[in-house]
Amino acid sequence: MMEIESRIAGIPCIIKRVSYERVKGCERADSRDDYYGWMEAVYEVYDRRGRIAPWLECKATDQDWQRVDREFDAAREYIND
């Protein structure tokens, strides 16, 4: 399980990625998702002390989750280097 420090609604937190699946696109696909590929991730949000924080997860917007996805991608690239 991978985790990063981030912010939701401006509040510092720890986000753990519980599961992750990414499928690359294929030119001979039957659907738009299969053609372009897709990504699915499940996250858990914790406060800075490590306690699960569902109240904070409820404050997350779509933009927050998109940023979190980018932060995880950047962290993964950093770890793989």
pTM of the predicted protein model: 0.76
CA angle 11–15–18, rounded 5-degree value: 155
Residue with tokens 């002390």: 49
pLDDT in tens, the chain (81 residues): 789 999 999 999 999 999 988 878 777 767 766 677 777 889 999 999 999 999 999 999 999 999 999 999 898 766 654
Q: How far apart are CA 72 and CA 24, in angstroms?
A: 17
Domain positions in the chain: 2-80
For the beta carbon of residue 43, count every other beta carbon within 10 angstroms: 19
pLDDT in tens, 7-25: 999 999 999 999 988 878 7
Q: Per CATH, which fold does 2-80 belong to?
A: GMP Synthetase; Chain A, domain 3 (3.30.300)
